[in-house]
Structure formats: structure tokens, C-alpha cells
């Protein structure tokens, strides 16, 4: 975690998603061009077991089709228009695009993909280039059991004791929603060996105020304005 000391990390939320279709190669490329430090993406599985990059459980909101991601094959998912003619990428395609140009924040959106994600990270020698994050502590415990060297982060909306929850699942980072970030929380996190990320911040002044009180990283749809 030394790389987070005295740093402020700009994390592109589903790529440069304020400008390009979210979770597409076009969006990730734009984020890298805007000098994002990390690109954040969401991982699910197709019915035939491929790791695909999609936030929602269905394709309804972000493509020209309908239905559950988990009930479509990769070939079927690849036929869909994810915006501006973009296709739903696989995790491997995003890794190939970003390798050596940005680091990765991979959010696990469902159970059962942990071993495949960890295997892909190992095969691509990206242990030090990735954070695995989730709202679900058990998914992070599974990741740590599979690969203790991987950095993990617990995402939270509201919690009475986010530090305890993050510590209990072995996370390296605690990531509450921006409304719940305080200087006291950041100091308690640091005292417990944790760094703090927050989401989703698209205003320059808000980002600066969060940096000033010690947040280690922010997730933003607009990596160019931070």
C-alpha cells in the first residue's frame, strides 16, 4: 500500500462514462487519454462462463436489447450495441487495452467469478496493478483466500462502522459514498491500516476538498476535470 501514501488517485468510473458509453473499450480509451490513474469496471459472467464487463444484471439500460447477462452467451452479448456501435467487452479485452497505461479497479458484481478473475490477473502478471472491490465482504474474503497479495476494497453506502467491516474482510481500502466521508473517518481508517476511496465525484471543488482532508482516491465519471 506504499503507492497510496501521499497520493491522490483518479479512478475513471466505468471509463470516461460522462462522455462515452460506460464500460466499453471506447470509454476506457478516453479515460486513459484523460490521464486517469486507474480505470474502474464491473465484471459479470455470461451463461457460458466468460468474464464480461457490465454493471447491470440485465442489458436493458446500456444496450439495444433486453434480458439477463447471465442467460446470454458471449456470442449473443457480442452482437449487442452498447452505444456508439461499441460491443460489450470481455475482462481480458479491457486488460489488453489498459495494460501498462493505467491500473485497474475491478468490481465483482456477482458470486462465483472470483477464481476466474484472480486467474486472469495472475496470468497477465497484474497482481500489483489491480484492486478488487465489492459491496459484498464475502467476495473479498474469497479473493484474499485465493491470492493474498491482491489489494481489495470494500464499497459501502451507509454504515455505522465501515472501518470494522473493512477490517473484518481483510480489505486494504474502505470506500464509502462521498456523503459519508469525514476527516475523522479518514484518520480512523489510517489508524487501522486502511486507505480511503470514495465515489462518485464529478465536481472539481468537491474533489479538491476531499483531497485536502486526506482521501486517497476518488471515483469520477469525468477524469478530465479532476
Rounded to 10°, the helix 114-123/91-98 angle is: 30
Rounded Cα gap, residues 167 and 213, in angstroms: 22
**Taking the C-alpha atoms of 129, 9, 187 and 182 in order, what is their torsion angle to the nearest 10 degrees?**
-130
Query: Distance (Å, rounded) from C-alpha 225 to C-alpha 25?
Result: 21
Of these residues, 10, 26, 44, 55, which one is catalytic?
55
Catalytic, out of 9, 11, 13, 25: 13
HSE-CB at 5 with a 13 A cutoff on CA atoms is: 4
Is 195 tagged catalytic? no
Q: What is the pLDDT of residues 122-158, one digit of tens each?
A: 999 999 999 999 999 999 999 999 999 999 999 999 8
Q: What is the mean pLDDT of residues 113-117?
A: 98
Q: Which domains does the chain show, CATH number per domain?
A: 2-220 (3.20.20.190)
55 is catalytic: yes
- Kindly indicate the confidence band of residue 160, based on its pLDDT and cuts at 50, 70 and 90: confident
- What pLDDT, on a 0 to 100 scale, did the predictor assign at position 188? 97
Look at residues 78, 68, 74 and name the one whose alpha carbon lies nearest to residue 49. 74
* Dist CA 57 CA 69 (whole Å): 6
Amino acid at each position: 500500500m506504499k503507492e497510496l501514501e501521499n497520493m491522490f488517485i483518479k479512478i475513471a468510473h466505468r471509463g470516461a462514462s460522462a462522455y462515452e458509453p460506460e464500460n466499453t473499450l471506447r470509454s476506457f480509451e478516453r479515460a486513459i487519454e484523460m490521464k486517469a490513474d486507474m480505470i474502474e469496471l464491473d465484471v459479470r459472467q455470461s451463461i457460458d462462463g466468460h468474464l464480461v464487463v457490465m454493471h447491470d444484471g440485465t442489458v436493458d439500460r446500456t444496450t439495444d436489447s433486453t434480458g439477463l447477462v447471465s442467460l446470454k452467451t458471449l456470442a449473443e452479448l457480442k452482437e449487442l450495441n452498447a452505444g456508439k456501435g461499441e460491443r460489450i467487452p470481455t475482462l481480458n479485452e479491457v486488460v489488453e487495452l489498459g495494460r501498462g497505461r493505467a491500473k485497474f479497479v475491478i468490481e465483482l458484481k456477482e458470486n462465483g467469478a472470483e477464481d476466474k478473475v484472480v486467474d486472469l490477473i495472475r496470468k497477465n502478471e497484474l497482481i500489483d496493478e489491480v484492486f478488487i472491490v465489492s459491496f459484498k465482504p464475502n467476495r473479498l474474503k474469497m479473493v484474499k483466500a485465493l491470492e493474498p497479495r491482491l489489494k481489495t476494497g470494500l464499497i459501502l453506502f451507509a454504515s455505522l462502522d465501515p472501518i470494522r467491516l473493512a477490517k473484518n474482510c481483510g480489505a486494504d481500502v474502505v470506500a464509502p459514498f462521498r456523503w459519508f466521508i469525514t476527516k475523522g473517518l479518514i484518520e480512523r481508517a489510517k489508524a487501522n491500516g486502511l486507505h480511503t476511496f470514495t465515489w462518485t465525484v464529478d465536481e472539481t471543488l468537491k474533489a479538491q476538498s476531499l483531497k485536502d482532508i486526506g482521501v486517497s482516491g476518488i471515483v469520477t465519471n469525468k477524469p478530465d476535470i479532476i
